[in-house]
Structure 1
Amino acid sequence: MLDEDRLFPSESRTRGIARDLYAGIRDLPIVSPHGHTDPRWFAENKPFPDPAQLFVTPDHYVFRMLCSQGIALTDLGVPRIDGGPTETDGRKIWRLFAKNYHLFRGTPSRMWLDHAFETVFGLSQRLSAENADHHYDHIADCLSKPEFRPRALFERFDIEVIATTESALDDLRWHEMIRKSGWKGRVVTAYRPDSVVDPEFEGFRANIERFGELAGTDATTWTGYLEAHRIRRAFFKSYGATSSDHGHATARTENLAQQEAAALFQKALAGKCSPEEADVFRGHMLTEMARMSLEDGLVLQIHPGSWRNHSAEVMARHGRDKGFDIPTRTDYVKALKPLLDAVGMQPELTVIVFTLDETSYSRELAPLAGAYPALKLGPAWWFFDSPEGMRRYRELTTETAGFYNTVGFNDDTRAFCSIPARHDVARRVDCAYLATLVADGRLAEDEAREVAHDLAYRLAKQAYRL
C-alpha cells in the first residue's frame, strides 16, 4: 500500500535530494511533546480490546468522517453520556468502517491508517468490505500477543518521550502507576487547567472547590486560587510535566489589575459572568499562567481558534471532543499584545502558539514569532496536520520566522498507532520542502541535512525542555 517515495517531489533531481535528506532522519527516535494518548494504557499495559476499539471508536478523525455521511456515532461504539445503548460488537463496528473506507481517500487519515496497517500489523492489502473480517481477525490475533501491548509498541515505535495531557483536577494515578512499575519508558504529563480557568466550563464553581481540596488551600479566594495553580503545577512537574496547555476559544489575553481580576473571579464563582467577562477572565489567566511559567519553567502552549463542540445535539448525547470542533477566524496581533507587553521580551519564557486559522500564518504569527523572544510558532495542527497543510505552513512562515522560531513537530493524537505515521509524514514533507530550497540554490545541502534533523528531533526537545 505504501509508495516508498510518497510525498516527495515528482521532479527527479529534487526527489533525489529529498530521498537523501529523509534517509538521514527516518530512523530518529520519536519525541512526542504534546498529545492525548491515555496514560492508563502504559500504566496497566493491558492488551487493546479489539481492532475497533483501537482504530475507530476513540479516533475523532475517523468517526467524524463516517458521521458526516450519516452514520450514527452510536453505531461506531462512541459512548453516550447518559449510558444509553451503543454498539459494543467490535466486529460489527469494523465491518461498517471497512465498508466505508473509501470515504477516507485522499485524506491524511487514510495515510495514517494504511501506514499502521502495513508497518505495525503487516497487512499489505487495502481495507475493504470484502477483506474486513480477515483484517479484523489478523489485527485481533496480533493484539493478543505480548509484543503488541502498549509498552512493547511504545518501544517498537522508538518513542523517546511522550507527553499526555491531564486536567488540573486529575490525580495522575496512572502516571504514579507507571513510575512504580519500574518500566523505563518516558511518559510525562502536561498541565491542562481549562476546567478551572474557564467560567463557562460546566460545573466551574464545583471544579474550583475540588481544585482547592487537591491543592490544600482555599481556592475560592483570589490569592488562594493563584496559589492552588502554583501547587498543582508543581505537582504536575513532579510527574515530568514540562508544559501547560490551554485550549481557549480565542487567543485573547488580558493583564488586569489584581483587584479587578479578583472581583471578576468572584463574579465567575457566582455564575454571573457575561460571555464577554468570561473571555476577559480566560484572557487574564493566560497572562497569569505566563508569569507562573517564568517562576517554574513550564512551557506555555496556547491552542485557540476552535468553536468546540459545535453540535449541541452531539454535545448533549456524547459529550466533549466528539469530532465537532470547528476552526474559526482568530486574531493574534491584538489578542496577544497584553501578554506580550507583560512578558514577551523575556527570553527565559517559552510561549508556543498554535492556530486553526491558516490566514494568520504569514500575516500575524510568523512576524510575531520572528520578533518576540518568548514566542515560538507551533506546527501545523489538527485540521492542517496534512501533507498540504504542513507544506503551506513552511511556505508561509519560513520567510519571516525562519526554522528556528518554530518547534519541530508534535502529533497531538489520541490514536496511538498513528504516531509513527504522523511523524513519518512530517519528516517526508519537511524533506521535500528542504529539497526544493536546495534545488533552487537557496540552501546548501549540508545545511538542509542539519535543518531536517532539527525539525524532526532537536527543536521539539529544546522547545519543550525535554
Structure 2
Amino acid sequence: MTQLTPNPDRLFPADPAERDIARRLYAEVATAPILSPHGHVDANLLLENEAFRDPAELLITPDHYVTRLLHAHGVPLGELGLADRGVPSSASGADIWRHFSSHWSDFAGTPVRYWFETELHDVFGITEVPSVESSDRIYAQIAERLARPEWRPRALFERFNIEVLATTDDPADSLDAHRALAADPTFAGRVLPTFRADRYMDPGAAGWRDALTALADAADIDTGTYAGLIAALKNRREYFIAHGATATDTGVLEPTAEPLTTAEAERIHAAALAGTASEADTLAYRRNMLYRYAEMAAEDGLVMQLHPGVIRGHHAPTLERFGPDTGHDLPDQASFTRPLRRILQDFGTNETFRLVLFTVDETVFSREIGPLAGFYPSVFAGAPWWFIDTPAAIARYRSAVTDSAGFAKTSGFIDDTRAFCSIPARHDMSRRADAAFLAGLVTTHQLGEDEAAVIIRDLTDRIPRSVFRL
C-alpha cells in the first residue's frame, strides 16, 4: 500500500539554508486564522449544517478544477455527477470517485494534486494514495467520517480556523442565510455576502429581462428604465452593506469603461427591452455599466473586484448540456491600462474607491497591474487566480508585482472556491509559497529575516483585512 504522507517541507527551497528560513517564516503563519474575502461556498451550507451526503458530491462534482481535467482525459461530465440538460446524473458517488482515483497520476504537478493530498491527509486522515485498487476503501473511509458530527460544515469551519468567509451573491438575493448566521449565537464565524451584478450589465444577453424583473421585485423599484435599474442596484448595494458586505465582484471579457449620457443609456435600455438594440448599443451599455459600478463603489465604499479576460462557455455544446461553471471558461488576453483609464482618471485618487484587479493572463502582472497598483492609491494587485493559483505562478506573481508595487499593494490570498474542504489546503499552499519567496529575499540580503516575518504575517492577515475592509 503506497502511503500518502505530504512532506512537511513541501514547496520550500531545496537549498538547506534557504529552506530553514522558509520553515521559520511559515511557522509565523501556519496556524493563523483564514480570511477568505472571495469565494463561492453557499451560505446555506453553514446555516443548515447538515451532514455531507457523499464524498464525490463534496470533493469532486462541484470543483471545476477537478472535473475539467478529468474531462480533458476523456471522462464525460455526466459520469462526474453533472446534470445533463437538467436531468440528474445517474453516476453513483463511488463510480465518480473511481474515475478520480484512476486518473490520480494525471493530476501530478498540478495544484489540484497538492490540494487533494493536503485535504485527504489533513482533513480526513487518509494515509493511502488514491488508485484503482484503493478507490473503494478511501471512498468508504471518507463516507464514514462524513456521517460523524465533527465533519459537519460548522465543525469543519471551526477546525479550518476560518474567521471570515465571503460568498458570491446576486443583487436580488434575500440574504436570509447570512442574516440567520449573523443572528445565531452558536456560530462565531463571519459569513459575508458579495454583490455580483454581472447579469445586469449586458442587455444583449439571454436572461437580462428576467434579471431586471427579479431585481425590481427585490428592490421594489421599477427597472423598466435605465434610471430605475441604477436606483435598484444602489438600493440593493445598501441592503448588502447592511448585511455585512464589504465588496463587489465583476467579471467582464474586456474592462473598458466609458460613461454614456443618461439620455443615451435610456435609449439603449428601451431598445433592448423592445429587442431592437444593436450590437454596438449593447457594447456601449456594458461599458457604461462598468463605469457606473465604479462610480457606485466610489460613493458607498464597497471594494470593487474586477475579473476580466475570461471567455465564458467556450464550448457551446457543453454549455447547452451542462450549463455554466463546468470547466470550459477559458483565458483570453487581458489589458488594463488603457481600458481603465477613464475610471482611474475619475476615481483613481478617490479615498473611498478601491479596485482589486485580477487576471488569468499573467503577462500583465509586471506590464500593467503592478505599475497601476504602484501609482494609484485605489488599485491593488489581486492574487493569482483560477488557472494561475499555483505555487510556481504565485512565485512569478510576487516577482512581477513586487518590483513595481511592493507587498502592501497586493490583495492577500484569494481561494475563489466552491469546494469547501479545499479552503485550508489552498491557503496553506499560498503561505508556503510566500515563505519560499521571502526566504529567497533574505538569503540574497534584500530583506532581514525579522522584516520578512512581519511581511508574511501582513500578507496573511493585515493586508487582506485592510484591502477588503474586513
Q: After TM superposition, is the score higher than 0.5?
A: yes
Q: How far is the alpha carbon of 1:261 from its aligned partner?
A: 2.5
- Counterpart in 1 of 2:457? 453
Q: Which residue of 415, 432, 438 maps to 2:419?
A: 415
| Alignment match, 2:219 | 215
Question: Residues 191-226 of structure 1: CA distance to partner in whole angstroms, max 9, x if unpaired?
Answer: 000111222432111211221121111111122111
Query: Which of 35, 41, 46 does residue 45 from structure 2 map onto?
Result: 41
Task: Give the secondary-structure state (helix, strand or coil) at the position aligned to 1:352.
Answer: strand
1:51 aligned partner: 55
Measure, in 2, the Cα distance between the counterparts of 1:345 and 1:267. Answer: 36
Residue 360, structure 1, aligned to residue 364, structure 2:
yes
Shift of 1:276: 4.1
Please show how residues 58-137 of structure 1 align to structure 2 within 5 Å.
Answer: 58-83=62-87, 86-137=89-140
- Alignment of 1:265 with 2:261, yes or no, is no
Contact 1:76/1:87 (<8 A) preserved: no
Question: RMSD across aligned C-alpha pairs, in angstroms?
Answer: 1.3
Q: Where do residues 320-331 of structure 1 align in structure 2 (5 Å cutoff)?
A: 320-331=324-335
Separation of aligned partners in 2, 1:307 and 1:178: 35
C-alpha contact (below 8 Å) 2:173/2:218 kept by paired residues: no
Shift of 1:295: 2.0
Query: Which residue matches 1:302?
Result: 306
Letter in 2 for 1:175: H
Alpha carbons 1:151, 1:185 under 8 Å: kept? no
Kindly report which structure 2 residues correspond to 1:301-380, keeping only aligned pairs within 5 A, or say none.
Answer: 301-380=305-384
Query: Which residue in the other structure is 1:432 paired with?
Result: 436
The aligned amino acid for 1:334 is R
Does the CA contact (< 8 Å) of 2:196 and 2:248 recur in 1?
Answer: yes
> Are the structure 2 counterparts of residues 112 and 274 from structure 1 closer, same or farther at C-alpha, using a change threshold of 3 Å?
farther
Separation in 2, partners of 1:374, 1:271: 38
Number of residue-to-residue matches in the alignment: 465
Alpha carbons of 1:201 and 1:48: their partners in 2 closer, same or farther (altered >3 Å)?
farther
Secondary structure, in 3 states, of the residue corresponding to 1:167? coil
Residues 252 and 279 in structure 1, CA contact (< 8 A), matched pair in contact too: no
Contact map agreement 1:87 1:93 (CA 8 A) in 2: no
Write the letter of the residue equivalent to 1:110: R
Q: Which 5+ residue runs of structure 1 have no aligned equivalent?
A: none
Kindly tell me: are residues 57 and 172 of structure 1, through their superposed partners in 2, closer, same or farther at Cα, counting changes over 3 Å? same
Which consecutive residues of structure 2, in runs of 5 or more, have no partner in the other structure? none
Name which of structure 1's ranges 251-260 and 148-157 shifts more when overlaid on structure 2: 251-260
What displacement does 1:258 show? 2.6
SS at match of 1:206: helix
Note if 1:7 corresponds to 2:11: yes
How far is the alpha carbon of 1:353 from its aligned partner? Answer: 0.8
Does residue 168 of structure 2 align to residue 165 of structure 1? yes
CA contact (8 A) 1:204 1:269 kept: no
Structure 2 counterpart of 1:406, one-letter code: T
Cα contact 1:47–1:143 (8 A) shared by 2: yes
Contact 1:168 1:196 in 2 (8 A): no
* 1:28 partnered with 2:35: no
Pick from 257, 274, 283: which aligns with 2:287? 283
Give the secondary-structure state (helix, strand or coil) at the position aligned to 1:210: helix
Q: Is the 8 A contact 2:308 2:359 kept in 1?
A: yes
**Equivalent position amino acid for 1:169 in 2:** A
Counterpart CA distance in 2 for 1:128 and 1:76 is 17
Find the counterpart in structure 1 of residue 243 from structure 2: 239
What is the letter of the counterpart of residue 443 of structure 1?
L
| TM-aligned CA distance change 1:262 to 1:67, over 3 Å | same
